[in-house]
């Protein structure tokens, strides 16, 4: 894999924080080292699971620095840039690139409604602000806008817009994107879109919150898919699915952080207003992780 | 395949109607014969593509009679029962069974909000009204309610509730249903959920509007999946997908009816307030059908 | 008030039904007589509260006959026509007019998506099928479509489309309709849009499920508004509002039917899959009706 | 009016910005002075119209400083605090209070789903961080969460949570809030909820983007309502409504900023990804402002 060709399992890193919201740098460094030793193919700090929409720039900058330093070139780092303003996103993207990342993942929660024209202008401007590869990210459940196929098509004019992580779970729309733009945009699966299926239609990898707690199992699924052992991959996917049901029921970052605590990484609670997993949630999660072989 | 075990490609039959909304019986009989000769594994009159929510009981009864007679036992007939009232659904289901069908597909468009308890009571009552196998159908895009996994679980108490056609496109929810209830409910794919994926996780067949116009191609995809030739199946699925984009853009029954007219079946226009495919739509559809090899 | 000029309180009549769904004709006749004696200005059988989307044509026809006969010309009868098919709606509207009603209220639950062009064509066709005044009805919460201001504007070409009952609760859209079309379309309030407000911006009346159980209080509010005693009207509106909170919590037709039973009208339960008000709901409702002075 | 009792017209101030997103301080100071001279009762910088979700803290802090200094105690200043993280909102609220504001308006765009418990904990924490009065703000169209009546009820435990600006346009829910909590929470209208109606049911004022361009007309409506001249108020409301239709069609901050430019305040364009009003929009807006007497 070339330095700028991303492929495989990229854990969506949690951001370890103490009760006051301060970065726990050593825990983050340890987690990065642990995941690389387990075999992940890259790292994505500051995505949804990384609680990027809740963090200020100082915490985000320090997070990137720690991840880049700990990864030490062993795997590519694709860091999230999360900003609703175009000026802010441009500035964050440029500063993020300077910190030594290999790529950028763009998030934009949004507020007022946006036309395709405005969406395209925003991401075009961010892409032009850096020279590294851009992974477009969209999660319509938590945003006030979404990419149309037409907007994505226009954005492929930008030579460094190379990847898309489309977290919608709307499998028909994903098929339309893949059949229309799959030759030009490489697709990363999220979890809710079911990676098994995304691999089958050509996804190059999986940017995944769960991969923080089940890195080995995620790699196993990716490799079965890479070798076109689809029935084996389907069994692995089904076996892992109860973890997703838990995310739906108890909230994503609370589950991942609680799972990592069970595995010995004191990553702390999610940032309020999110809340820590309660006793019932911990019980359910622990049982699922045991069944999957992750505890 | 036993008479009561449904599996494979079941075209969601259009209902051929003249300008006044009267059934074109001979066209329907010809279409049934044509599709069976092409190799379909069953027939489903009076689903969404059959415009069931727009038809009165007399037209529906006559449609079932014609399909049962023309099929003449060559393939199973699973007829739709579409009624928002429980009393009405029970009555229609019982009368439909008497007309000689092999199974029933239940649709309920809904109006006022329904709790799980009410949803379960409705479908339980319909199931008890007949002895043939029931296929539960839900399409949350066009309804005012949806099945929860918990409601489906309760409904599996009814011994003749054997199948589910879940037309949501929400692939995460489908995974949750399959991993929780897949051992008990056999799943039929709709089109928007992407049959390729549904087959991979264990669906037994595809109840499909498009199969009226692309029966051979639908069977080809089903058979590749049955033989676990997943990469071949993925290619076939991608090749067929532009037809789905056309449905999204121009409306489902207008496209299927226009496509059948192009193939020589004078099935007439969809019932108003739906409208006939316009010139631009016909041009796009014709080009897609030629590419797929269906014209 | 001329025979064809509708104004004031029009109870959305419940349809009294026994456990098997058969019309309780005498109860309906008694309720009609009771409401007219209480002073209501008109009657609207077969709206949402009348459970029209759950009834077959025979029950609907008999309901209209009973209401027309019992009203005996004392107040106008505006009957609902509820049908998703244009052919069906035309046929029902024509037959309804022949039964001697003074006006028609059009409902269309919908199924497949509809463009403005299709919505306009549907209601235009229904309007042309009769000579009596048409009240357009829309309730986007329970339908799969909604009127745009532009569609309503086009429909005012039809000389007998004279009224609109817009049950959205989206007060901004109502303002846009009133300021654009208020000179041409007379507006009836529903309950969720808050009649107080609708009267203030010019509504001519209130088609109301609750008016079945609180006819006197509804008339009182209407009359305060008619005399421009707005502060008094606001107090009356606030006093009645807890009834609406109960509808939201326990479902509309279950509440109205239970309230009428408490008042001595054995109207029976709502049609399944709707369910009867439970003990907790009856307790809450009874307390509210006592506070309002309706028990 | 006591310093801490807010009442009347509070323009939701635009934030004047140059092409690079830098605050135009003199323009803001001039606008503040102009609006106070026109008679507004207070000022609300950094609400939705103020583009708060798009601004960094430095720009927000400087905006508050300029507004507080220009207002010079002539009218109360209620500044927006907009932050999705509880830690961030607490910090911003405390710093905002130190800048000399008279009250705080809390915005929280949100990202992951929130339970009532989490919503209550967030706003409780912000309220405890300051001693000035809190105005809760919610706009479910642009957020990923909303207040329930129950959550609001719990929040009234906090002695400084005194006001609510509820921008939903769902008039039924507003009635439920007013009848349940109106004795404890003073309500400010937004524009889409139709101030005329909010005043009639007891709102104490109107926090309003449009009041930046139509301050005199907004005060006129407020005063007609205060004097209980409801029919006059209704006429004024209807006359102003076309401005709201323009906001829906062309986007809020683009319209307000363009209108102010027409009035001689060079406030600049809205921040990207929002876009400036186009020629057609300017033509429509200019015509509306002339009709209202604001140009």
CB C274 within 8 Å of CB C15: no
Share of chain B above pLDDT 90, in %: 92
- Does residue A108 carry a pLDDT above 70? yes
DSSP letters, B111-155, are: -S---HHHHHHHHHHHHHT-SS-EEEEE-TTTSS----HHHHHHH
Cα–Cα distance for residue pair D156/A181, rounded to 1 Å: 52
D55-78 residue pLDDT tens: 999 999 999 999 999 999 999 999
pLDDT of residue A249: 87
Cα–Cα distance for residue pair A152/A136, rounded to 1 Å: 9
DSSP type of residue C43: B
DSSP letters, B279-294, are: HHHHHHHHHHHHHHT-
A181: tokens are: 């733009």
CB B174 within 8 Å of CB A245: no
What integer is the mean pLDDT of A62-73?
98
A123-158 residue pLDDT tens: 999 999 999 999 999 999 899 899 999 999 999 999
- Does residue B285 carry a pLDDT above 80? yes
Chains adjacent to C (≥3 CB pairs closer than 8 angstroms): B, D
Ranges B203-212, B247-256, B284-293: which has the least confidence: B247-256
CA-based nearest residue in chain C for residue B114: C274
Cα–Cα distance for residue pair B253/B21, rounded to 1 Å: 14
Q: What string of H, E and C letters represents the secondary structure of D182-227? A: CCCCEEEECCCCCHHHHHHCCCCEEEECHHHCCHHHHHHHHHHHHC
pLDDT of residue A3: 56
B21: which chain C residues are within 8 Å (Cβ-Cβ)?
Answer: 85, 87
The pLDDT confidence band at residue D1, using thresholds 50, 70 and 90, is: very low
Helix axis angle for D230-250 and D215-226, nearest 10°, is 140
D232: tokens are: 């006059």
pLDDT of residue C251: 83
SS3 C44: strand
A144-196 residue pLDDT tens: 899 999 999 999 999 999 999 988 888 899 999 999 999 999 999 998 889 99
What integer is the mean pLDDT of A248-255?
88
pLDDT of residue B27: 98
Torsion angle of alpha carbons D216, D218, D220, D224, nearest 10°?
Answer: -170
Task: State which H helix or E strand residue C10 sits in.
Answer: strand C8-11
A9: tokens are: 């399992």
Distance in Å, alpha carbon of B129 to nearest chain A alpha carbon? 34
Which residue in C60, C165, C222, C257 is the catalytic one?
C165
D72: tokens are: 């010079």
Task: From A214, A241, A220, select the one nearest A232 (Cα to Cα).
Answer: A220
Sign of CA dihedral D179, D182, D184, D190: positive
- Length of chain A measured in residues: 295
The pLDDT confidence band at residue B248, using thresholds 50, 70 and 90, is: confident
CA-based nearest residue in chain A for residue D17: A87
The pLDDT confidence band at residue B1, using thresholds 50, 70 and 90, is: very low
pLDDT of residue D2: 55
Distance in Å, alpha carbon of D85 to nearest chain A alpha carbon? 5
Ranges A21-30, A211-220, B191-200: which has the least confidence: B191-200
pLDDT of residue D4: 65
Chain centre to alpha carbon of residue D242: 19
Using the Cβ of A114 and the Cβ atoms of chain D, whether some distance falls under 8 Å is answered with: yes
Chain D segment 233-252 residues within 8 A of C by beta carbon are 234, 237-238, 241-242, 244-245, 248
Distance in Å, alpha carbon of B192 to nearest chain A alpha carbon? 5
Contact between chain A and chain C (3 or more Cβ pairs less than 8 Å apart) = no
What integer is the mean pLDDT of D237-254?
91
pLDDT of residue B158: 98
B114-136 residue pLDDT tens: 999 999 999 999 999 999 999 99
- The CB density around residue B5, as the number of other CB atoms within 10 Å, is 14
Interface test with C, best of B112, B115, B253 (most C CBs within 10 A): B112
Buried b (16+ CB within 10 A) or exposed e, D148-163: beebbbbbeebeebbb
Task: State which H helix or E strand residue D137 sits in.
Answer: strand D134-138
Cα–Cα distance for residue pair C131/C159, rounded to 1 Å: 9
Catalytic: C165? yes
What is the ipTM for the molecules in this complex?
0.95
Task: State which H helix or E strand residue B13 sits in.
Answer: strand B8-13
What integer is the mean pLDDT of C106-135?
97
B7-23 residue pLDDT tens: 999 999 999 999 999 99
D130: tokens are: 């300051």
C259-286 residue pLDDT tens: 999 999 999 999 999 999 999 999 999 9
- Rounded to a whole number of angstroms, the distance between the first and last alpha carbons of chain A is 31
Cα–Cα distance for residue pair C241/C234, rounded to 1 Å: 11
> Between A175, A179, A228, which is nearest B231 by CB?
A228
B126: tokens are: 């319909």
Cα–Cα distance for residue pair D134/D141, rounded to 1 Å: 22
Residue with tokens 């829309």: C138
Using the Cβ of D151 and the Cβ atoms of chain A, whether some distance falls under 8 Å is answered with: no
> Between C172, C193, C196, which is nearest D200 by CB?
C196
- Length of chain D measured in residues: 295
C148-159 residue pLDDT tens: 999 999 999 999
Q: What string of H, E and C letters represents the secondary structure of chain A? A: CCCCCCCEEEEECCCCECCCCCECHHHHHHHHHHHHHHCCCCEECCCCCCCHHHCCHHHHHHHHHHHHHHHCCCCCEEEEEECCCHHHHHHHHHHHHHCCCCEEEEECCCCCCCCHHHHHHHHHHHHHCCCCCEEEEECCCCCCCCCCHHHHHHHCCCCCEEEEEECCCEHHHHHHHHHHHCCCCEEEECCCCCHHHHHHCCCCEEEECHHHCCHHHHHHHHHHHHCCCHHHHHHHHHHHHHHHHHHHHHCHHHHHHHHHHHCCCCCCCCCCCCCCCCHHHHHHHHHHHHHHCCC
C36-95 residue pLDDT tens: 999 999 999 999 999 999 999 999 999 999 999 999 999 999 999 999 999 999 999 999
B41-90 residue pLDDT tens: 999 999 999 999 999 999 999 999 999 999 999 999 999 999 999 999 99
What integer is the mean pLDDT of C23-35?
98
> Between B87, B117, B142, which is nearest C112 by CB?
B142
Task: State which H helix or E strand residue C105 sits in.
Answer: strand C103-107
Catalytic residues of A: 137, 165
SS3 C163: strand
The residues pairing with B188 across neighbouring beta strands, listed in sequence order, are B165, B205
pLDDT of residue D169: 81
pLDDT of residue B4: 65
Cα–Cα distance for residue pair A51/A63, rounded to 1 Å: 12
Contact yes or no for D172 and C175 at CB 8 A = no
Contact yes or no for B238 and A169 at CB 8 A = no
> Which domains are seen in chain A, by residue range?
8-230 (3.20.20.70)
The pLDDT confidence band at residue C4, using thresholds 50, 70 and 90, is: low
* Averaged confidence pLDDT in chain A: 95
């Amino acid at each position: 894999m070339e330095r700028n060709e991303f492929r495989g399992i990229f854990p969506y890193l949690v951001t370890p924080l103490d009760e006051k919201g301060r970065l726990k740098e050593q825990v983050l460094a340890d987690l990065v080292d642990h995941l690389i030793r387990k075999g992940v193919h890259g790292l994505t700090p500051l995505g949804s699971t990384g609680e990027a929409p809740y963090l200020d720039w100082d915490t985000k900058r320090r997070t990137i620095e720690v991840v880049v330093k700990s990864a030490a070139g062993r795997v590519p780092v694709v860091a999230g840039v999360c900003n609703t303003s175009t000026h802010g996103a441009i500035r964050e993207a440029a500063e993020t690139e300077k910190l030594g990342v290999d790529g950028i993942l763009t998030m934009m929660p949004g507020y007022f409604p946006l036309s395709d024209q405005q969406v395209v202008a925003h991401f075009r401007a961010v892409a032009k602000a850096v020279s590294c590869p851009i992974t477009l990210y969209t999660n319509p459940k938590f945003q006030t806008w979404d990419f149309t196929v037409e907007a994505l098509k226009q954005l492929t004019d930008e030579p460094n817009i190379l990847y898309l992580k489309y977290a919608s779970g709307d499998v028909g729309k994903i098929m339309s994107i893949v059949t229309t733009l799959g030759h030009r945009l490489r697709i990363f699966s999220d979890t809710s879109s079911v990676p098994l299926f995304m691999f089958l239609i050509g996804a190059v990898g999986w940017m995944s919150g769960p991969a923080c707690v089940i890195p080995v199992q995620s790699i196993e699924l990716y490799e079965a898919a890479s070798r076109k052992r689809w029935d084996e991959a389907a069994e692995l996917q089904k076996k892992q699915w109860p973890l997703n049901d838990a995310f739906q029921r108890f909230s994503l970052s609370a589950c991942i952080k609680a799972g990592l605590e069970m595995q010995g990484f004191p990553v702390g609670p999610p940032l309020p207003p999110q809340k820590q997993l309660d006793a019932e949630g911990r019980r359910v999660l622990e049982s699922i992780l045991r069944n999957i072989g992750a505890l």
